[in-house]
């Protein structure tokens, strides 16, 4: 709805001022104009490209990986980044050549809200603890950045399992919020990169199995103590997959 309203407002302003006549402003180009301060530039990006734009691209395609794979967001466009881009392109009906040109980046922008989060997830849903993102295991800035990275992986998971909504029952927690709900000490929730997703057992196992192909190293579900009513995903240094 936000993007549609923005599209309409921009079009009316430009037509009324005579700045542009007969040009359609698409959702993608509207987002590209604001870009939440994090534009992906220097297109096309391809093997051998390096820099901040590559890192921003990697964050947005990090959920398009093989089972157990984690795509590094190091700003270096190597073969694994090319394959993640290729999978992203194939998912959304683009030419799957692994090169991030304008059509690929426009598609990313169409999936992105004005604050750089993907359209189907939000900071408000991810953080029901406080408004500052402070008090966790890392700085507020780092916790918010970690949350955004995990949201993009869940956006990929959502697309791969049929675009059914994925509700988040718990995301970021400060240390005090984590203690209040009985969370384990050092929980990934306190780092901002973890999310709990409730639903039926069939649904939770579907999320669990899909998360294996979406770049998560911590996946806890049915049968793991305290996780029989939700699937938990997060990022740990080593793989921890339990349940389903």
pTM score > 0.85 for this model?
Answer: yes
DSSP per position, 126-191: HB-S-SS--SSSS-HHHHHHHHHHHHHHHHHHHHHTTS-----SB-B--HHHHHHTTPPTT-GGGG
The pLDDT value recorded for residue 35 is: 58
Rounded distance between C-alpha atoms, residue 33 and residue 10, angstroms: 11
* Residue labelled with tokens 């890192």: 55
The pLDDT value recorded for residue 242 is: 96
Rounded distance between C-alpha atoms, residue 39 and residue 25, angstroms: 18
What 3-state DSSP class applies to 210? helix
Q: What is the pLDDT of residues 29-69, one digit of tens each?
A: 444 434 588 899 999 999 999 999 999 999 999 999 999 99
pLDDT tens for the chain, residues 1 to 244: 334 333 333 333 332 333 332 333 334 444 443 458 889 999 999 999 999 999 999 999 999 999 999 999 999 999 999 999 999 999 999 999 999 999 999 999 999 999 999 999 999 999 999 999 999 999 999 999 999 999 999 999 999 999 999 999 999 999 999 999 999 999 999 999 999 999 999 999 999 999 999 999 999 999 999 999 999 999 999 999 999 8
Could you list the active site residues? 227
In angstroms and rounded to an integer, the radius of gyration of the C-alpha atoms of the chain is: 19
Query: What's the start-to-end Cα distance of the chain, in Å?
Result: 36
Structure tokens, 134:
């402070």
The pLDDT value recorded for residue 37 is: 84
Query: Do 42 and 66 contact (CB within 8 A), yes or no?
Result: no
Query: Do 135 and 176 contact (CB within 8 A), yes or no?
Result: yes
The pLDDT value recorded for residue 38 is: 87
């Amino acid at each position: 709805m936000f993007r549609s309203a923005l599209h309409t407002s921009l079009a009316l302003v430009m037509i009324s001022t005579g700045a542009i006549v007969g040009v359609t402003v698409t959702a993608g180009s509207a987002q590209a104009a604001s870009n939440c301060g994090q534009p992906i530039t220097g297109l096309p990006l391809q093997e051998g490209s390096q820099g901040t734009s590559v890192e921003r691209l990697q964050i947005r395609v990090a959920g398009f990986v093989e089972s157990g794979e984690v795509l590094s967001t190091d700003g270096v466009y190597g073969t694994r980044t090319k394959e993640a881009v290729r999978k992203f392109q194939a998912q959304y009906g683009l030419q799957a050549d692994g090169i991030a040109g304008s059509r690929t980046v426009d598609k990313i922008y169409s999936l992105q809200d004005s604050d750089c989060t993907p359209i189907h997830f939000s900071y408000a849903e991810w953080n029901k603890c406080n408004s500052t993102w402070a008090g966790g295991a890392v700085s507020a800035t780092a916790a918010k950045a970690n949350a955004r990275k995990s949201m993009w992986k869940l956006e990929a998971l959502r697309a791969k399992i049929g675009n059914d909504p994925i509700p988040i029952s718990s995301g970021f927690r400060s240390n005090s919020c984590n203690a209040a709900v009985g969370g384990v000490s050092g929980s990934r929730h306190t780092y901002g990169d973890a999310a709990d997703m409730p639903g039926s057992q069939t649904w939770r196992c579907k999320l669990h199995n899909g998360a294996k192909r979406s770049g998560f190293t911590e996946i806890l579900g049915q049968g793991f103590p305290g996780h029989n009513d939700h699937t938990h995903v997060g990022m740990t240094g080593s793989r921890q997959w339990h349940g389903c």
